[in-house]
Amino acid sequence: MTDAPSTPVSRDELDELARLVTPLDDRPGLEVHAPYDDSVVGTVPLCTPDDVRSAVAEAKSAGDEWSTWPIEDRTAVFARFHDAVLDQREALLDVIQTETGKARADALEEVLDVATTARYYANHAERELASKRRVGAIPLVTKAVEHHHPVGVVGIISPWNYPLSLSVSESIPALLAGNAVVLKPDEGTPFTALWALGVLRECGLPDDVFQVVTGEGPRLGEPLIEGVDYVSFTGSTEVGRTVAETAGRHLTDCSLELGGKNPLLVLDDADVEKAARGAVRGCFANAGQLCISIERIYVHEAVADEFRDAFVRETRGLTLDAGYDYGHDVGSLLDRELLEKVETHVEDAVEKGASVLSGGRARPDLGPYFYEPTILTDVTPDATLADEETFGPVVSLYEVESVSEAIERANDSAYGLNASVWTKQTQRGEQVAARLEAGTVNVNDAYAAAWASIDAPMGGMKDSGVGRRHGRHGLLKYTESQTVATQRVGLLSPPKRGKQAWANGATLGLRLWKRLTEVLP
């Protein structure tokens, strides 16, 4: 193995971040490794269930005060955070790369995402959270107003693959809505969220409103879900089911952003070169460790040879290496467990008849967990990766005879997170999109167009999730809606005497109302 570059982030800086975790005294340390060379870069406290309970209690009392802040003061914190993140971009990129081993351009996506999210919700929260008049039971006689109150304390459980986006971008709307947040980042990548916590405090977020507890998911999950008023989980479908079960037992509302086995469709009229470049980004961004990345490609037979050649050529042109600069395209996988899963998936597919068109091997010469961007063809239905998410840089290429077959095979999956369609006729692409069972569909892009359209909802159908992030839904899910209806005249109930006349009057009223709604705009 060539000498891996050592992290530009000092141990002192990471130790200081670790001190932001809620409990400090006498906790054993949880080691955090740099995937580039597996060295230990720092430790964070191994929190206990009691630590989680204290963090929730502290968050609750801090949140009670925070929720009384005028909305413009709350939004000002996140407007400042937007600028601070962009100003300190390089330092943040170093932290993200250190604990994930991803390429710098992939880390940059997270920085841009968190700034976009801060700006979007800072600009929209006031309007979305404002109380709104609704049509009352009897117009003019009944006044109805919809209010949105913070739920209280939001628990956020996040994975390692996008440790900034999936923990901090998810926390921003929850905080802006007036809630406190207790975040449990993944065991392997706590420092990025802690970095953001420090900066948020510098931007004016009161201490204790946003707490981070570090430690093991199976141990901390239950007390967290038990204690909070809403849970936002991002991670695997398997753990998502456990989270939903626990939340269900406590009648705690939750949203679940889970796994995917996302398809990309190349239609017979696609710009093949553009589709090949888009597919490369879709399959190998973040070394494939991306919930919305592409793991299946269905290409129409009319353009299959041309697309395959262009896709293989573009993939072979990717550079794979470690480095804290923009000098390479693809970084490392997170750890040995994931590397072994990727290797097992590829070996199993090959044993069952698949051929490797590109890649197909680990690269221990670059670092302990590097794996080449890999294209498989002739994958048989009994191969594990035919249906299961690999979550690595591996894609299966299938030729289809028609667009209908491509749609049918794309939908033949337990998952429904993201999809991509390539065609020169955008209207045709949008029609195909409407037939795909996926929460987001990108026409002539792989994943970034839908993800970055933050005004629109994002989330999964089928086993890919429950609920949505982004847009107004991503904010209002962190609120309790309350309707206050004021009856200005009389009572909305039958009178003590004259119920027959009341029944006739009410029936006539409904008939007239329907008529009016038919003639009025």
**Residue nearer to ligand NAD on the CB measure, 4 or 244:** 244
Alpha-carbon Rg for the chain, nearest whole angstrom, is: 26
| Stretch in the footprint of ligand NAD (CB under 6 A) among 35-43, 158-166, 342-350, 490-498 | 158-166
| Contact indicator for 428, 267 with CB cutoff of 8 Å | yes
User: Which of 89, 464, 93, 122 has the alpha carbon at shortest distance from 263?
Assistant: 464
**Residue nearer to ligand NAD on the CB measure, 159 or 367:** 159
| Stretch in the footprint of ligand NAD (CB under 6 A) among 113-121, 180-188, 296-304, 429-437 | 180-188
Residue 257 bears catalytic tag: yes
Q: What are 354's two structure tokens? A: 């698949």
**Residue nearer to ligand NAD on the CB measure, 332 or 423:** 332
User: Which of 372, 454, 447, 388 has the alpha carbon at shortest distance from 173?
Assistant: 454
CA distance 231 to 387: 28
3-state secondary structure of 107: helix
Task: Quickly count: other Cβ atoms within 10 Å of residue 10's Cβ.
Answer: 11
Q: How far is the CB of 302 from ligand NAD (least distance, A)?
A: 32
CA distance 163 to 193: 7
How big is the CA angle at 350 (ends 348 and 351), to the nearest 5 degrees?
A: 65
Site string for ligand NAD, 421-460 (x = CB under 6 A): ---------------------------------------x
Number of residues that bind ligand NAD (CB under 6 A): 28
Binding ligand NAD (rule: CB under 6 A), the pick from 190, 217, 223, 393 is 217
CA distance 319 to 229: 45
Q: How far is the CB of 180 from ligand NAD (least distance, A)?
A: 19
| Stretch in the footprint of ligand NAD (CB under 6 A) among 160-168, 193-201, 404-412, 510-518 | 160-168
Binding ligand NAD (rule: CB under 6 A), the pick from 22, 75, 98, 158 is 158
Rounded-to-10 torsion of CA 78, 82, 87, 91:
90
Binding ligand NAD (rule: CB under 6 A), the pick from 4, 56, 166, 406 is 166
| Stretch in the footprint of ligand NAD (CB under 6 A) among 13-21, 256-264, 266-274, 364-372 | 256-264
Helix pair angle (191-202, 71-87), 10° resolution:
120
How big is the CA angle at 33 (ends 31 and 37), to the nearest 5 degrees?
A: 150
Binding ligand NAD (rule: CB under 6 A), the pick from 161, 332, 374, 423 is 161
| Stretch in the footprint of ligand NAD (CB under 6 A) among 3-11, 133-141, 213-221, 353-361 | 213-221
> If binding is defined by CB under 6 A, does position 67 make contact with ligand NAD?
no
Residues 311-330 that bind ligand NAD (CB under 6 A): none
User: Which of 198, 204, 202, 174 has the alpha carbon at shortest distance from 76?
Assistant: 204
| Stretch in the footprint of ligand NAD (CB under 6 A) among 46-54, 238-246, 276-284, 379-387 | 238-246
Residue 146, CA atoms < 13 Å, CB-side half-sphere = 13
| Contact indicator for 283, 418 with CB cutoff of 8 Å | no
Show the DSSP H helices in 352-447 as ranges.
Answer: 384-387, 403-411, 426-434
Binding ligand NAD (rule: CB under 6 A), the pick from 52, 291, 397, 421 is 291
| Catalytic pick among 99, 110, 226, 257 | 257
Contacts of 134 (CB under 8 A, 6+ apart): 144, 145, 146, 483
> If binding is defined by CB under 6 A, does position 391 make contact with ligand NAD?
yes
Binding ligand NAD (rule: CB under 6 A), the pick from 244, 258, 318, 346 is 258
> If binding is defined by CB under 6 A, does position 232 make contact with ligand NAD?
no
Give the type of residue at 347: E
Binding ligand NAD (rule: CB under 6 A), the pick from 67, 116, 236, 358 is 236
3-state secondary structure of 517: helix
Binding ligand NAD (rule: CB under 6 A), the pick from 84, 243, 386, 438 is 243
Catalytic residues, by residue number, are 257
- Which residues of this chain interact with ligand NAD, rule CB under 6 A? 157-161, 166, 184, 186-187, 217-218, 221, 234-236, 239, 242-243, 257-260, 291, 389, 391, 417, 460, 465
